[in-house]
Amino acid sequence: MPNPTFRILTPPICPSLTCEKVKRETKEVEEGETEGGEFQFTDAYAALQLAIDAVVKIFTVSSSPNYVLPWQNKSQIETMGSGFVIPGRRILTNAHVVADHTFVRVRKHGSPAKYRAEVQAVGHECDLAVLVVESEEFWEGMHFLLLGDIPFLQQAVAVVGYPHGGESISVTKGVVSRVEPIKYAHGDTQLMAIQIDAAINPGNSGGPAIMDDKVAGVAFQNLSGAENIGYIIPVPVIKHFLSDVDESGEYVGFCSLGLSYQAAENAQLREHFHMRPEMTGVLVSKINPISDAHRVLKKDDIMLAFDGVPIANDGTVPFRNRERITFEHLVSMKKANETSKIRVLRDGQELELSVVVHPLNALVPVHQYDKLPSYYIFAGLVFVPLTQPYLHEFGEDWYNTSPRHLCDLSFRRMPKKVGEQLVILSQVLMDEINVGYERLEDLQVKKVNGVEINNLKHLCQLVEDCKEESLRLDLDKERVVALNYNKAKLATSHILKRHRIPSATSTDLLDSEVIKEEEEAAEA
96 is catalytic: yes
The residue annotated as part of the active site, out of 62, 82, 170, 205, is 205
Residues 6 or more apart in contact with residue 62 via CB below 8 angstroms: 76, 77, 78, 79, 98, 99, 100, 101, 102
| 519 CA to centre of own chain | 32
| 3 CA to centre of own chain | 14
Q: Please provide the DSSP assignment of 315-383 as one string.
A: SEEEETTTEEEETHHHHHTSPTTEEEEEEEEETTEEEEEEEEEB----SS-S--TTSPPP-EEETTEEE
244 is catalytic: no
The residue annotated as part of the active site, out of 127, 292, 301, 474, is 127
Task: Count H helices and E strands in the chain, helices first.
Answer: 14, 28
How far apart are alpha carbons 489 and 497 in whole angstroms?
A: 14
The residue annotated as part of the active site, out of 43, 62, 82, 96, is 96
127 is catalytic: yes
Beta strands in 42-76 (DSSP E): 55-62
Contact 7, 78 (CB under 8 A): no
**Residue 260 bridge partners (DSSP):** 286
Contact 194, 218 (CB under 8 A): no
How far apart are alpha carbons 45 and 5 in whole angstroms?
A: 32
Contact 319, 325 (CB under 8 A): yes
Q: Give the residue numbers annotated as catalytic, written as ranges.
A: 96, 127, 205
